[in-house]
Structure 1
């Protein structure tokens, strides 16, 4: 299959609750995968939280929310018992509090509303000066007089605006501004959930490239909840777990542990002098896709196939280019004394190894 396709599906969880899933297929390959975990709070969730107790020496505060304890870093001027709006920034490590921030964002496909950070900005990825001017005018006309702007909120127009119609962008800005105003106007007391974080379907339609959408909910009743099977997602995803094939017959195996992610690259049956170098370059190009689709992050060690030290610079260039377009921040730390390569990747995604059991 050529082009881009977004596949939306739902399956029943252990308790019968619906679990949303989304897959992005580009040029016949699985490029991204999202699966909700009903047991966890989704990043982007907004609470009215109650300050519980400060953490001395760390400048943080434990907060009470309807979904348990949360931890807010770099707190000033907040006393136990105070209420404030906080937003979940990521998934907590097992047994730890929810990570939250007081810098709330309302993000949609085209716009980001930024309470407490006034001003209107346009993504630097948009280079066309005329288009930037048009978007600036549109932003002022649509957002400038909105009540949420009077509260000190700002607006950021995302890079995808370069591909959208003005009316579509304006409608999106207004929707986000109205939502932000509704949440910021809250004057309640006590801990309360104010806004759920985006689901897998929401994130897919918000952040992924435009393409054909196959929605399981829109299929005939006898085919419902089988969109993944119709699109061949299980077959496309299976190699990401069993080990993607590399050029020359090599394989790349990615194993996630509690402490780190370990990647092993081998050359398979290729015994030529350049086999290791070719396999390592292929692994560098594949690695961002595998990590992204499986939701892996943290410390990552690459145990590469044998290659000469003179080839390291080219390997680093290919690896850097591969991660350039990846949405998750990744630091290419460099070579270890044992000759492995080390990366540090933000834990922005939910690891899917457990959730994918029985699906692939």
Structure 2
């Protein structure tokens, strides 16, 4: 079974799933009220220059100011020496208007990341106004094909008297004819001209250009001739997709299919079920082993355990097989969960160096299929595999979930016993400070139950010690850690 793309469209939300060999590999979700802004171009206003960080905050009209580093303001042709000696205070000043593009969505508490090096993607190319570089995707490995593509774009992009325009050939450009590349260049030039017209009249902060919505981005960036099908469950979106594909991605026109089925489209290939699983910490392996994913502000850690898998031969063989299966599963889970930044993988320790190499090779092979740029280091002195995965948008968990109101993101809450002792200490503190006849303790049901049952002896001892009555009242709105001690 080949590769398919499923597009589930509703007026409030668009979801896209990439299916390979009958298994969901990637899921993208975009909501109307919280659309991603990567690729958008803004006329921004510098609100604060930070010389100590060699960066600045720029107002682009969002709730939080966006962040730009000095390297993203300097010319792309600047030498390493010029970059290291540059000062943000000499390049930008507060109140200045600045044309910027978003390279990273606001994630967690961090604002969007910006650059002044604009880029406009189309089907086969990425246009870079003001730059004269012609690049080719590293994933196109054939040297002759790289030279052919570079030669075509160089000849097509040479124009007299116009500002220089650079291009990068995308992976899907491999094998593309000159006419199709010429069409793309023409489309990008027209787009840039329309953007330049808007820039002249734009006041900061304002949006100049917005990237395509998710359903169209999927067709532009993910669709390729090797696809088996692209199924869309909305007739109106399907018709728009047909027009878009005919104009920009004609090689997949025959793969588009309207899906009118009674069964929801994301129930095909168990996409809905896989999304729910991808929100959990634990991932079961077929062998009986399992993975544990922990996503934190600084990094994501992945721990591998043999679990119920005992193997048939010896311990080393059991560990090796579990690690091999884990390497394949990790590659898929990183894509499915859209995890980015630093990722630390704790494979089960292997004695055999050849086993270590095979597990690393398996992980590398799986990561080659990833659209996001991944960089893998070897095994560290502590036996950990360190890698990075480029993060531009929020992870699946960040899109679908919020911080738990009970634990505030810690992943654990205090036991009723712990809260009980905190209450005792608070009563003693108030006893020393104030004169009162009795105390009323307001707390959650589990805490009050513990105080009246397991800790009833301690309550009696405390009442005797302070010579005051203590009463308890359940507050349904309190979480497990909240309480109040009221003087009566």
TM over 0.5: yes
2:233 to 200, 216, 222: 216
Q: In the aligned structure 2, how far is the partner of 1:129 from the partner of 1:344?
A: 31
Relative to the length of structure 2, the TM-score reads 0.64
User: What are the Cα deviations for residues 155-184 of structure 1, in whole angstroms up to 9, with x where unaligned?
Assistant: 222221124454433322222221122223
Choose the corresponding residue for 2:271, options 211, 219, 233.
Answer: 233
Q: Is the 8 A contact 1:24 1:32 kept in 2?
A: yes
Counterpart-to-counterpart distance in 2, 1:202 and 1:172: 16
Confirm or deny that 1:120 pairs with 2:114: no
Distance apart, 1:209 and its partner CA: 4.4
1:48 alignment counterpart: 43
In 2, Cα distance between equivalents of 1:199 and 1:104: 19
Match of 2:359 in 1: 315
**Partners of 2:259 and 2:349 in 1: CA distance:** 53
Q: How far did residue 261 of structure 1 move?
A: 1.6
Q: Which runs of 5+ in 1 are unaligned?
A: 13-17
1:9 is paired with a residue whose SS is strand
When structure 1 is superposed on structure 2, of 301-310 and 96-105 the one drifting more is: 301-310
**Which stretch shifts more, 194-203 or 78-87?**
194-203
2:370 counterpart (326, 331, 339) = 326
**Rounded Cα–Cα distance in structure 2 between residues aligned with 1:126 and 1:343:** 23
What is the distance in 2 between the residues matched to 1:309 and 1:104? 48
Counterpart of 1:133 in structure 2 is: 148
**8 Å contact 1:126–1:162 — kept in the other structure?**
no
RMSD of aligned residue pairs (Cα, Å): 3.0
Aligned partner (choices 18, 28, 31) of residue 34 of structure 1: 28
Distance 1:119 1:331, change over 3 A: closer
Measure, in 2, the Cα distance between the counterparts of 1:297 and 1:234.
22
Does the CA contact (< 8 Å) of 2:107 and 2:393 recur in 1? Answer: no
Change (3 A) 1:214 1:115: same
Distance 1:288 1:260 in 2: 16
Could you tell me which residue of structure 1 aligns to residue 429 of structure 2? none
Matched, 1:340 2:384: yes
SS class of match (2:9): strand
What's the CA shift string for 1:160-214, capped at 9, x where partnerless?
1124454433322222221122223421232210111343223322222422111
Bigger relative contact order, structure 1 or 2 (CA pairs below 8 A, ≥6 apart): 1
Number of paired residues?
348
Which residue does 2:101 correspond to in 1?
87
In structure 1, the partner of 2:66 is 70
Instruction: Tell me the CA shift for residue 101 of structure 1.
Output: 0.6
Q: Normalised by the size of structure 1, how large is the TM-score?
A: 0.84
**Matched residues in 2 for 1:225 and 1:355: separation?**
25
Residue 112 of structure 2: which of 98, 114, 127 is its match? Answer: 98
Shift of 1:244: 4.3
Moved more, 126-135 or 157-166: 126-135
Question: Could you tell me whether the CA contact under 8 Å between 1:6 and 1:213 is conserved in 2?
Answer: yes
Provide Cα deviations, 1:224-270, integer angstroms capped at 9, x if missing partner.
99432345421344444454443533222323233332212222332
- Structure 2: segments with no counterpart, 5+ residues: 71-87, 239-257, 402-488
Q: How does 1:233-312 map to 2 (within 5 A)?
A: 233-242=271-280, 243-272=282-311, 273=315, 274-308=317-351, 310=353, 311-312=355-356
Distance 1:224 1:81, change over 3 A: farther
Quote the Cα distance in structure 2 between the aligned partners of 1:344 and 1:135: 29
Q: Which moved more, 1:289-298 or 1:183-192?
A: 183-192
